[in-house]
Amino acid sequence: MKSENPLHPLIRPRRLRASPGLRGLVRETRLSPAALVLPLFVVPGAGVRQEIASMPGVFRESVDMLATSAKRAADSGVGGVLLFGVPPAAAKDAEGRAALDPAGLVPRALEAVAAAAPGLVRIADLCFCEYTSHGHCGPLDAHGRVDNDATLALTGEQAQVLARAGADVIAPSGMMDGMVAVIRQALDSAGCSAVPILSYAAKYASAFYGPFRDAADSAPAFGDRRAYQMDPANALEAMREVALDVEQGADMLMVKPAMPCLDIIRRVRERYDLPLAAYQVSGEYSMIAAAGERGWIDADRAMQESLIAIRRAGADIIITYSALRTAQQLNDGTFGAA
């Protein structure tokens, strides 16, 4: 049925945008604090809370302070935390063996978080870049390239250390071929078959990781990571990577970074029914935060819009440095209120 007067349309989509109540009632994409994961950086010492210059509002923390941050996140309804260790330079070596220490930074942080916030999901990132003297994601071969299979030999051991320390989820991020299969076998053989793997299944060699490398002191001493992380130009390759991880026993999948890869998130969501995470990485976060500090954009609204876009693309879980603030906004009703 058409209106007789073309200047008075019969169908008016604007009717459902007329008030905050109507907009909320018909909103298609919703976010909850339980879907958010907060990354945390643990450093040696006690009483340490150092703001990261390139990541406003994000801190490196000693175990005691990190436990307090985790408790705050749990109280706000945040679903989980993702832990990264930042050891001192003196503890690093060519193979990153500090990552295998049962009394290391992340194992101690896992125990502290379990005590402070027992209901919070503890996700342990599994990689070697923070622990190697050269900053790459595993030991090097004679040509200065990351040795895939030598890295796998250490990967299984790191997974066992993290699981025994209380990790609820192991999240391997190194993009080594075969890493999920090795971790699954290592966990199962150690009596940790109930521990799931959240694989960084499609992780691109992205320029958006810069601030993270400041935070984790993990910038490569030479070269870059393009020989093992993915080319941002490739989408079919991402689907092959995801398929391999699914075949090897991944329980959950991740796409990283998030906003530059919304198309990949959507493709993975449409093909696979495993829980899907997306990582709003440091550069994405810092661009919004820095522009907000300069008054160029409304940082809260921009952050909310970006998170909704990631959720709309199909992510079930969003890893974001804004998890705590976003959870508070969701709880007090100011998320999307403008």
Which of the residues are catalytic?
203, 256
In sequence order, the β-bridge partners of residue 202 are 255
Q: Length of the chain, please?
A: 338
Residue with tokens 């349309």: 9
- Are 266 and 314 a contacting pair, CB within 8 Å? yes
